[in-house]
Structure 1
Amino acid sequence: MDCRRCGTRLEKPGDYCLTCNTANCDGVVIEFRPDRAEVTMLEEDAVVGRTTVTTTPEREDPGERGVVQVRNFAGRVADEVRRKRPETVYAAGERDPLREARAQLHYEFYRVPEAGRRDGAGLVEWVRERRGERSLAVVDAAPAEKIGGTHSTLIGGRTGRTAIRTVAEHPHVKKIVPGPIDAGGTGSRTGLRAKATRADTNGNVRLLLRDGSSVQENRVVTTAMDRETGERVREDLNEALVEAELREA
């Protein structure tokens, strides 16, 4: 593939051209599987390149060696993305390498929940169909700055604070307003559980924290503009809570 601006031959399709400082793709789609990642480069709606990054899962020693294997795998995928310098990255599939790659990359990054593809569409096609939709504003603020309101107490202690911080880290969350604690619920021994509930007509959601017989409903203000886009944020929040082991998958 040649650079679309100066014609210089690129080492790999979609690479950023260092000769004329031009990006040759504006989006990267990654589908993580246990033994490989399929990486697809997009320029608007056109597929300009594909590559596969492979790995060998540590089946005999999933402990420390497994952690290193996932980190290295995600790092190689992240290296491929950095070569492209895209505006946006979309990813789906295996949670551990996805989470690690997201931590290593500093581009706009969207996790595509499986629930968002109920029609069975392939990941790349799903992304291509929705890239033209109005994008949501990104909130550039530290998680702690997004938390406020009359009630400052959170149930669940450190775990409750982790749940709130996990939600506050989402780029489309503007503010979290903790609510009062209701101690009249049914007891549970499963520890603190968190769940983002159905979006309202303004695109905002509620974060339910449940710890034993205590329940706390926290208002989450998002940059979504309606229920449909709010549902996309809700699905992403619940995926993040699953990754943090605060919600059942």
Structure 2
Amino acid sequence: MRLFCFPFAGGGVSTYISWADSFPDDIELVIIQPPGRGSRLAEDPHDNMTSLIDELMRHADFITQQPYLLFGHSLGSRVAYELCYRLKQNEMPLPQYFIASGSRAPHVSKDKEMIHNLPKNEFIQALEKLNGTPKELLENRELMDLFMSLLRADFKIAETYLAQKCKMPFSILVLHGQDDIDIEEHQLSAWGELSDLGHHLVQLPGDHFFINQSRNEVIHQVSQRVGTALAASYSTL
């Protein structure tokens, strides 16, 4: 079984790479690395959901060739959902389980001010308030110039994409930071409108980036769902 992990806006493989030792040998961790970061730094980032999903769909046969789960944090949750939507349209196998972390439901509009098109200094200040971009990066003018296009592109997707509401044939686990004031209760509960099998909400200590602050608790929640999916998979053999 494979566990695919999708990064938040501006994020990459570094968030998940340390997770590899937390799962049994029969789980393969696959970390999505969109262009514009890490080993793909020289490539232009996607600034719209359609082109990002088009790229992922070129790997659809690999993604769906064996049982799998999807995990995404913040923007990553919505990217993962849109991938499911496209796979469903193409009548391809869907995940055994879906884990949405730190995100409003993708078909619910953002009710906060958009920041992706703010002037540079205001954009940097807005990133600082979100508490997810390393302070060392925010204070380094040269690095910020290097990553500015990536950050703006990711936040443009995060702030402008709105999904088609579609019921999926899998359960959804929703993880939420107890101190995350940017996501309203109705935006979280709306995930339940996207599953025929229901959803379950778990609150964890931390703000929007509780994925780092409560790393062990997040991994524990994911591991439980992986175990459930594995057991179900083995029972059908």
TM range (shorter): under 0.3
Of Structure 1 and Structure 2, the greater helix share is in 2
User: Structure 1 length normalisation: TM-score?
Assistant: 0.27
Higher strand residue share: 1
Q: TM-score, normalization: structure 2?
A: 0.28
